[in-house]
Structure 1
Amino acid sequence: MTQLWPAPVASGAVRATVSVPGSKSITNRALVLAALAEGPSTLRAPLRSRDTELMARALGALGVAVQDGPDGSWQVTPTSLHGPAEVECGLAGTVMRFVPPVAALAVGRIVFDGDAQARQRPLDTMLNALRELGADIDGNALPFEVRGTGKLAGGPVTIDASASSQFVSGLLLSAPRFEQGVTLLHQGKPVPSLPHIDMTVSMLRAAGADVDDAEPNTWRVAAGPIRAFDVEIEPDLSNATPFLAAAAATGGTVTVPGWPAQTTQAGDAIREILRQMGAEVQRTARGLTVTGPDELAPIDIDLHDVGELTPTVATLAALAPGRSQLRGVAHLRGHETDRLAALQNELNKLGGAVEQTEDGLLIEARPLTGGTWHSYADHRMATAGAILGLKVPGVVVEDIATTNKTIPDFPGMWTAMLEDSM
């Protein structure tokens, strides 16, 4: 039965220190690179969540050993990739888009499937690109089948990655193992979430790959080995944003320890976003501290490169007197759910005034009332409902357990944050 979770109301300003687990984006990229490396690798402080466990099991199904280390690390030992295998993707975009190129390098038949909702997510761009590079694939959406021969020719390929940066990252991560590497050209509307591609390129280079991204919309990865590595996973900055938003919404102060001085994570953009909405933001050796204003300011912002932050920003905008506009996020209609429609529906049900535009949302702050906030099996919709509940009594979040996708025990962390404030 779907869990209904009464979102706690903040009795006053939230004041807490919240440690967040490792980055999902870095963990899943590191798992793929480790699976293709020359020798055993160690991932320290990895995120343990539904999405990363699905990635570990997917690679394990292909013969890769992913084992628990004594210190909570993951020890990854590559091997000859092989089928037959079944890969369960859940609703994880990184699994359904990063693992097919790995499967194309395996020997045997590999079947991919996932949650019912995942069958609606676009995959044809990735699968058609792999066919052009020499893969034998049956199907254009989940479920589909990869029939691997142990190698992939690689070479030049042109795609339209305007629906998701994951199409680019998925191809680049395995490209050093293609016989000719890959020269990937994007043609179409601008690629969303470019920081995620920067993360992929940075991690490839750190593992010894030769990557040329000097030309806009073009990525060249030379064929060659991937070095084994030992890496400490950064805290997940996007998963930290609901907790920082709690400070902004309530005029409180929240610190997230370990915030990196330099990072490729898209979540780092929350610093400037919260400043624009009136918060005080400071990064020190201790971490990142956000202190909220007496009253949030509305915002007009392009979130194209950091679309994953949209549910958090939209919720804060609904609490900020005035009119806000979120732009550049049309691609969110193809995420775990249609996030633009979901935000419009849920905020308006509670008394909000939200309109969809061609590429975003117009949000006019109105007095809000309690009610059921549907998550649509989307972890970021669920955390958005929790933020709203801090200020709006009676918000009940449907399927709070979907947050396990990226944040283990989010309800416990949220409750602990509020208990620290008392």
Structure 2
Amino acid sequence: MTETPVHPALWPAPVASGAVDATVTVPGSKSVTNRALVLASLAAEPGWLRRPLRSRDTLLMAEALRALGVGIEETVSSSSSAAGPRRLRRGLARDPGGSARPRHDRRRQRRYGHALPAPVAALADGPIRFDGDPRSYERPLNGVIDALRALGARIDDDGRGALPLTVHGGGALDGGRVRIDASSSSQFVSALLLSAPRFNQGVEVRHTGASLPSMPHIRMTVDMLRSVGAQVDEPETGGEPNVWRVSPSALLGRDLTVEPDLSNAQPFLAAALITGGKVTIPDWPERTTQPGDQLRRIFTEMGGSYELTERGLVFTGSGSIHGIDVDLSEVGELTPGIAAVAALADSPSTLRGVAHLRLHETDRLAALTKEINELGGDVTETADGLHIRPRRLHGGIFHTYDDHRMATAGSIIGLAVEGVQIENVATTAKTLPDFPRMWTDMLTGAGN
């Protein structure tokens, strides 16, 4: 009798045989690494990044900056140095979010890739062309394109408001005041603020749309700017609401150790919660702007407990998982993992404030609803989120839509449900290289 071949793109999600007890070292933050690369490229002196994340997204960011003329040297596997030349040169830059993305079968997919290098290109000497895979052409970038034009940049995009596009750098940019609707992506604000110290007049960015999602990422941008000598006025420190001002100045090179990516710690903390076990994440910072730090509060409300020690964060599950009613507008990237845990809880959950997730790597709200329900779940979309009623789940294929957070969400469910197969688990390499090995090591205790 011939065995039925296993589909090469399907990964059998391991089922936990008991309570996990593991130490998991999470790689560096993607958001911190990419911002640090941009700031170092614009600094007046070299800077060092220690423990940067080396993933698909950060390697493409480094590649884009090198194409602009930035010198980035990797000295060992865990550190690198970067220095911006006096004049950035012309070249071709590949969009760091430019991978092909299949359309979701319910709605047209749109994805906001990295807007961070575009303002840097406006400071270059000559034309810089940004390109990516064909699917990346669907990502609207009107916010940052229109803002840069208002600040004096010349950009050719044939009216698409998306890739491919050419930024005609003149070696400098006037800067000044700009109004922008960033309600679909806070990255548009961050992109302008990071390069603003090199603009002749600095910048005043005024957000004019609905409430901003992912505010912790803007706080991260402001903190990192101040750490290299920039002067920033912001709403958080008594400034005008929805207005950020950055003064022109030289940026300092600095020696930065990149924090662990706390959002990428989510599946491992979820494993402790689901199995009633314990997971330690080394080097968890006492103070951080990373959205993933909210996991301590959220997963505690769902039934766990934590202690911040010299070793790091020690998170312990109680053996029970409770539903939650939570506003995730500031931490939308955590939604897939929270939804996966909620599907295994003992009471319903409502996840609110995340309508903008319909414009992420895929339509994450539609994707989560479809995939959890196909495993026997009961998830319904609301105007701005999800309502999840726990039901007994069964095995099946969990599609990821090339979205790394969908892949880890399916793996979380697979801890408690036999027969879950993750389609294209390799998409986790976007921010969490070698996730399958880390997951298996956690379950076997190999990380202790």
TM-score, normalised by the number of residues in structure 1:
0.97
Whether the 8 Å contact between 1:121 and 1:336 is mirrored in structure 2 is no
Q: Does 1:266 align with 2:291?
A: yes
Cα shift at 1:91: 4.1
Whether the 8 Å contact between 1:255 and 1:289 is mirrored in structure 2 is yes
Cα shift at 1:94: 8.4
Which of 403, 407, 411 aligns to 1:378? It is: 403
Cα shift at 1:292: 1.1
Please list, as runs of the form range in 1=range in 2, the aligned pairs for 1:288-299 lying within 5 A after superposition: 288-299=313-324
CA distance in 2, matches of 1:220, 1:248: 42
Cα shift at 1:149: 1.2
Q: Secondary structure at the match of 1:388?
A: helix
Partner of 1:22: 28
Whether the 8 Å contact between 2:179 and 2:208 is mirrored in structure 1 is yes
Partner of 2:121: 103
CA distance in 2, matches of 1:71, 1:412: 19
CA distance in 1, matches of 2:414, 2:300: 22
Tell me the alpha carbon deviations over residues 52-76 of structure 1, each in whole angstroms, 9 at most, x when there is no partner: 0011000001111111123621111
Partner of 1:236: 261
Which of 387, 393, 399 aligns to 2:424? It is: 399
Please list, as runs of the form range in 1=range in 2, the aligned pairs for 1:62-101 lying within 5 A after superposition: 62-70=68-76, 72-79=78-85, 80-91=87-98, 96-101=114-119
Task: Tell me whether 300-309 or 118-127 shows the greater mean CA deviation.
Answer: 118-127
CA distance in 2, matches of 1:62, 1:353: 49
Compare the two structures and name the one with the higher helix fraction: 1
Please list, as runs of the form range in 1=range in 2, the aligned pairs for 1:116-265 lying within 5 A after superposition: 116-139=134-157, 140-213=161-234, 214-265=239-290
Q: Does 1:284 align with 2:316?
A: no
CA distance in 2, matches of 1:268, 1:256: 12
Whether the 8 Å contact between 2:114 and 2:187 is mirrored in structure 1 is no
The amino acid that maps onto 2:148 is L
Which of 4, 15, 38 aligns to 1:9? It is: 15
CA distance in 2, matches of 1:279, 1:163: 32
Distance change >3 Å, CA 94–CA 123, structure 1 → 2: closer
Cα shift at 1:117: 3.6
Cα shift at 1:13: 1.1
CA distance in 2, matches of 1:333, 1:248: 27
Whether the 8 Å contact between 2:112 and 2:359 is mirrored in structure 1 is no
Which of 392, 396, 404 aligns to 1:367? It is: 392
CA distance in 1, matches of 2:389, 2:343: 7
In the alignment, structure 2 segments of 5+ residues that lack a partner are 1-6, 100-110
Q: Does 1:329 align with 2:354?
A: yes
CA distance in 2, matches of 1:121, 1:325: 29
Distance change >3 Å, CA 391–CA 117, structure 1 → 2: farther
Tell me the alpha carbon deviations over residues 319-346 of structure 1, each in whole angstroms, 9 at most, x when there is no partner: 0022110000011111111111110110
CA distance in 2, matches of 1:71, 1:298: 41
Task: Tell me whether 220-229 or 67-76 shows the greater mean CA deviation.
Answer: 67-76
Paired positions, count: 422
Q: Secondary structure at the match of 2:81?
A: strand
Q: Secondary structure at the match of 2:93?
A: strand
CA distance in 1, matches of 2:409, 2:140: 24
CA distance in 2, matches of 1:156, 1:145: 23
Cα shift at 1:119: 2.5
Q: Secondary structure at the match of 1:83?
A: strand
Whether the 8 Å contact between 2:58 and 2:96 is mirrored in structure 1 is no
The amino acid that maps onto 1:377 is D
Whether the 8 Å contact between 1:28 and 1:94 is mirrored in structure 2 is no
Q: Secondary structure at the match of 2:88?
A: coil
Distance change >3 Å, CA 414–CA 91, structure 1 → 2: farther
The amino acid that maps onto 1:85 is L
The amino acid that maps onto 2:28 is G
Q: Secondary structure at the match of 1:301?
A: strand
